[in-house]
Amino acid sequence: MSDLSVTPVERRSGERRPLQFVAVLHRADGAATPSFVRNVSESGALLLVRTRRVAVGDAVRVEVQLGSAAQQSLKGRIVRIEPVDDSLYWAKRVAVRFDERLPVAQLDS
Question: For position 3, what pLDDT does the model report?
Answer: 43
**Taking a C-beta distance cutoff of 8 angstroms, is the pair 57, 16 a contact?**
no
Question: For position 21, what pLDDT does the model report?
Answer: 81
**Taking a C-beta distance cutoff of 8 angstroms, is the pair 58, 69 a contact?**
no
Domains and CATH numbers, the chain: 21-108 (2.40.10.220)
pTM of the predicted model over 0.85: no
**Taking a C-beta distance cutoff of 8 angstroms, is the pair 63, 26 a contact?**
yes
Question: For position 108, what pLDDT does the model report?
Answer: 60
- 27 or 10: which carries more pLDDT confidence? 27
pLDDT tens digits, 40-73: 888 999 999 998 899 999 999 999 876 666 788 9
